[in-house]
Amino acid sequence: MVLGVRGDIDLFSAPVFHEYVCTQISPEGQFILDMSKVDFIGTAGLSVLDSVHASNLRDGRHWAMVCGRPLYRLLRAAGQESSYPCFPSVDSALGAWHGRTA
């Protein structure tokens, strides 16, 4: 499953972002969160990603993110660029999964 997100993720939209992701993912399935069309993401959005990441690790669910420039910049500024399963495209995320299961 690929979940697409676009626009700005700030203090006001972060709760909606969190609800969207949590209600769309299947408890037993893997998914890709495509953030390539996000124009801005603030620290409130990073808190949501922390929560989603922790939940997925706890539940043993595989996931990946497609990160655009705003998200890469935030992760780099926070010193967390290697904390998440980030990929430049959906195809590269799928390729990593295929390589892991092959």
- pTM, two decimals, is 0.87
Distance set, CA 14 to CA 25, 45, 59, 61, 96 (Å): 17, 5, 22, 22, 28
Question: What is the arrangement of strands in the sheet containing 63-67, beginning at the earlier edge strand?
Answer: 2-9, 31-41, 63-67, 86-87
Share of the chain above pLDDT 90, in %: 66
Query: What CATH number corresponds to the domain at position 6?
Result: 3.30.750.24
Q: Which domain holds residue 65?
A: 2-101
pLDDT (0 to 100) of residue 99? 66
DSSP 3-state assignment of 87? strand
pLDDT tens figures, 3-48: 999 999 999 999 999 999 989 887 777 899 999 999 999 999 999 9
Work out how many domains the chain is built from and give that number: 1
Q: For residue 81, give both structure tokens.
A: 């660029």
